[in-house]
């Protein structure tokens, strides 16, 4: 089974979408998620620990509340 690595920017965009309730990002994620679900049987999706740390750091640097960031991140990881 192949691997697809999820970039930091994707995680940050997802968190931004959840915190800011960005409808454009939400529509984009819904479209892309449908495509990714078709790949689930052939690939495993991987997020490096360093990418998670970088994403959290970027979000906190933007002044977003840590509780909001971690709630959105846990939603992303499901």
pLDDT per residue over 28-74, tens digit each? 888 888 888 888 888 888 888 899 999 999 999 999 999 999 999 99
Q: Do residues 11 and 73 lie in contact, with contact meaning Cβ atoms separated by under 8 Å?
A: yes
Q: Whole-prediction pTM value? A: 0.79
Q: Where are the domains of the chain?
A: 2-77
Residues 64, 66: Cα–Cα separation, whole Å: 6
């Amino acid at each position: 089974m192949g691997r697809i690595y999820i970039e930091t920017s994707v995680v940050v965009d997802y968190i931004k979408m959840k915190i800011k309730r960005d409808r454009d990002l939400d529509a984009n994620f819904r479209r892309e998620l449908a495509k990714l679900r078709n790949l689930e049987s052939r690939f495993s999706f991987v997020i490096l620990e360093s990418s998670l740390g970088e994403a959290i750091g970027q979000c906190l640097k933007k002044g977003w509340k840590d509780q909001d960031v971690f709630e959105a991140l846990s939603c992303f990881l499901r």
